[in-house]
Structure 1
Amino acid sequence: MSALKTRFTEAFGIRHPIVQGGMQWVGRAELAAAVSQAGGLGMITALTQPTPAALATEIERCRKLTDQPFGVNLTILPAITPPPYDEYRRVIVDSGVTIVETAGSNPEPHMEMFRANNIKIIHKCTSVRHARKAEAVGVDAVSIDGFECAGHPGEDDIPGLVLIPAATDRLSIPVLASGGFADARGLVAALALGADGINMGSRFMCTVESPIHDKVKQAIVDGDERGTQLIFRQLRNTARVAGNAVSRDVVEILQGGGTFPDIAPLVAGSRGRKVFEDGDLDAGIWTVGMVQGLINDIPTCAVLVDRIIAEASSIISRRLSELVA
């Protein structure tokens, strides 16, 4: 099997420069283990688990499914009643996890504990300035999201083709390209732009091991690059989600002068979880990126990762080399 060695694979001890995004309701043990077993880096999403104790159980479940490295995503966002982040962080440390992906707020408050326990940190960000700040506080790598991404792309609206090389020009640590990646062409492009690997979310949602309803997976296969919706623009908390009845209502209410309390019942996380569990595509808000237009099948994680690496190696060694006179 071909391999692509980068600074990221060397630093994090994985075979292939492919990382699975830490997605709410999706990043569970079966998916993370399958990605890691395939040679990438799988991620359990901490806050998908309802309690710190449940996260400890999920980490142990993942260990029984793979002996390869995997990580835990810890996303910290403003909340009226925030989760017990300190307890989740303690579980990560006590469980012997060696890789953490932080996202949302500044990772600096986590650094002392994670560093003291030899945990490598990837910080997910949406701008060069935030990436440079993360490097300054000591993270080991950054994952930088272009405007195409699912979830929160920030407020600068800079697409990956510009954002990725802008970041790699100004950072000395490894950079993962995120937002819009699904296949070998994207991986090769990311490497050409200076990145050390790719982070894929929507693509891994659409795999056999992904713990979401088959109707959601099929909707991604059937969808195209026009099938997403930007919500929360007026609130300066932009999110890219699947276009459906609920997201269209949210946009209409906010455009009409509504405020967050007017849409809160529509965007409740419990409704989004229902989409993934029951397959009712209009039950709530659910995230997917523009890259769904490049997703045409539902393979196993092993088949997907092997295919990307094999095709990327072929593109680099054959097609690109043939262009050089």
Structure 2
Amino acid sequence: MALRTKFTEVFGVEHPIAQGGMQWVGRAELVAAVANAGALGFITALTQPTPADLADEIARCRDLTDEPFGVNLTILPSINPPPYDDYRQVIVDAGVKIVETAGSNPAPHLPMFHDNGIKVLHKCTSVRHAVKAQSLGVDGISIDGFECAGHPGEDDVPGLVLIPAAADKIEIPMIASGGFADGRGLAAAMALGADGINMGSRFMCTVESSIHQNVKDAIVAGDER
């Protein structure tokens, strides 16, 4: 029997698991494999050097799966920002129905995404940011504890503290990120109030991941007891 949560219901996937939007790793082969397994995979938009390349990558992913998948659009502040509007337009034109935003306020992007029937999962590193994103109308929250890779925020709050604190304030679907790699982690996250988990490193080690085999071997070796 499938494990149903608010996350699976709203985002239309079989399992309450998401593949993190990892720079250079979130490519069609991995995303399609995750989708075919019943979880939610994310192509990383900025892995692709141009919006046209992103359109090609989305098309490649569609050739590999008929299941739902999303696109991660990281919107970090920058002196010379990427052409976010063009990447966003490609996502809309390609008919993608799930987007993960991260790095800054998603408000400028929400109207266009929602007007085109796209659900937005916003990544947050603090309760206050999650509450703000919820008030703006995002469809789900990915709450990132200090254990999470990428940018875990500036508060250094670990997941064991952050997840239940956020769960007390968040009513929309919320998944937990940082240090999750198996069913035990999923059970722990749900016990803390999350509706699923977001995994990165575990997916990096898969056959479909494009990182070098030596890196995969090192990660696996580091887990040996």
After TM superposition, the structure 1 stretch with the greater mean CA deviation from structure 2, 208-217 or 87-96, is 208-217
Q: Deviations over 1:10-39 (max 9, x none)?
A: 111110000000000000000000001000
Q: Deviations over 1:237-290 (max 9, x none)?
A: xxxxxxxxxxxxxxxxxxxxxxxxxxxxxxxxxxxxxxxxxxxxxxxxxxxxxx
1:118 paired residue number: 117
SS of the residue aligned with 1:143? strand
SS of the residue aligned with 2:142? strand
Q: d(CA) in 2 for partners of 1:97 and 1:128?
A: 28
Q: Deviations over 1:62-104 (max 9, x none)?
A: 0010000000000011223211000000000000000000000
SS of the residue aligned with 1:34? helix
2:87 paired residue number: 88
SS of the residue aligned with 1:124? strand
Q: d(CA) in 2 for partners of 1:47 and 1:61?
A: 16
Mapping of 1:132-147 within 5 angstroms?
132-147=131-146
Which structure has the greater CA radius of gyration?
1
TM-score where L is the length of structure 1: 0.68
In structure 2, runs of 5+ residues without a counterpart are: none
1:5 paired residue number: 4
1:65 paired residue number: 64
SS of the residue aligned with 2:24? coil
2:14 paired residue number: 15
Q: Does 1:24 align with 2:46?
A: no
1:157 paired residue number: 156
Q: Deviations over 1:113-143 (max 9, x none)?
A: 0010010000001000000000000000000
TM-align CA RMSD: 0.8
2:205 paired residue number: 206
Q: d(CA) in 2 for partners of 1:29 and 1:95?
A: 14
Q: Deviations over 1:281-324 (max 9, x none)?
A: xxxxxxxxxxxx4xx6xxxxxxxxxxxxxxxxxxxxxxxxxxxx
Query: In the alignment, residue 44 of structure 2 is paired with which amino acid?
Result: T
Q: d(CA) in 1 for partners of 2:84 and 2:62?
A: 22
Query: In the alignment, residue 6 of structure 1 is paired with which amino acid?
Result: T
CA shift, 1:203, in A, is 0.9
CA shift, 1:219, in A, is 1.2
Query: In the alignment, residue 147 of structure 2 is paired with which amino acid?
Result: E
Q: d(CA) in 2 for partners of 1:58 and 1:200?
A: 21
1:55 paired residue number: 54
SS of the residue aligned with 2:151? coil
Q: d(CA) in 2 for partners of 1:101 and 1:82?
A: 18
Query: In the alignment, residue 11 of structure 1 is paired with which amino acid?
Result: V
In structure 1, runs of 5+ residues without a counterpart are: 224-292, 297-325
CA shift, 1:222, in A, is 1.8
Query: In the alignment, residue 53 of structure 2 is paired with which amino acid?
Result: A
1:197 paired residue number: 196
Q: d(CA) in 2 for partners of 1:129 and 1:29?
A: 33
SS of the residue aligned with 1:170? coil
Superposition misfits of 4+ residues, deviation over 2 angstroms: none
2:73 paired residue number: 74
Q: d(CA) in 1 for partners of 2:185 and 2:83?
A: 37
TM-score where L is the length of structure 2: 0.98
Query: In the alignment, residue 214 of structure 1 is paired with which amino acid?
Result: Q
Query: In the alignment, residue 163 of structure 1 is paired with which amino acid?
Result: L
Query: In the alignment, residue 75 of structure 2 is paired with which amino acid?
Result: I
Q: d(CA) in 2 for partners of 1:119 and 1:204?
A: 25
Q: Does 1:171 align with 2:155?
A: no
2:34 paired residue number: 35
Q: d(CA) in 1 for partners of 2:97 and 2:190?
A: 25
Seq. identity, %: 76
CA shift, 1:151, in A, is 1.2
Query: In the alignment, residue 156 of structure 1 is paired with which amino acid?
Result: D
Q: d(CA) in 2 for partners of 1:79 and 1:110?
A: 16
SS of the residue aligned with 2:42? strand
2:108 paired residue number: 109
